[in-house]
Amino acid sequence: MSDAGQVSIQILGKEYQVACNADESKAVENSAELLNAKLKDIRDSGKIVGLDRMAVMAGLNLAHDLLSEQDGPGRVDEAMTMKLRLLRERVERALENGKQLEL
C-alpha cells in the first residue's frame, strides 16, 4: 500500500482501526456506516442474536444488494432472487437452531 495509514471506524459501538491508503479512507468510513446500519437493523428486529450471526445476515443482505445493483434496478434475475431468498431462509433457520451451516 502506498501512502498507507489507518482510519478509525465504529461498528455497533466498538471501535476498529483499519489500514488503508489515504485516498481510500472515505470509502472505508462509508462502508463501515453501511455495515453498521445493516447490523443495527438486524439487531433491532430481534430475530437474530449474536454478533457472528448478525454479521452473516448483514453479509447476505449486502451481497443481495450488490447483485441487484449489478443487474440494474428492478432487473434482478428471478432465478437469482429465488436462490438468494432460499439461501437466506436456510441461514436464518440454521442460526435459529444454532447449527453449523454447510454451503
List average pLDDT for each run of 10 residues in the chain, which is 103 residues long: 77 91 89 91 87 87 79 61 75 66 46
Answer whether residue 40 is part of any domain.
no
Q: What is the 3-state secondary structure (H, E, C) of the chain?
A: CCCEEEEEEEECCEEEEEEEEHHHHHHHHHHHHHHHHHHHHHHHHCCCCCHHHHHHHHHHHHHHHHHHHHCCCCCCCHHHHHHHHHHHHHHHHHHHHCCCCCC
pLDDT at 1: 44
Answer whether residue 78 is part of any domain.
yes
pLDDT at 15: 93
pLDDT at 60: 87
Answer whether residue 7 is part of any domain.
no
| Structural domains counted in the chain | 1
pLDDT at 85: 76
Domain of residue 52 covers 47-103
Whole-model pTM: value is 0.63
Answer whether residue 6 is part of any domain.
no
**Residues 6 or more apart whose Cβ sits within 8 Å of residue 63:** 84
Answer whether residue 36 is part of any domain.
no
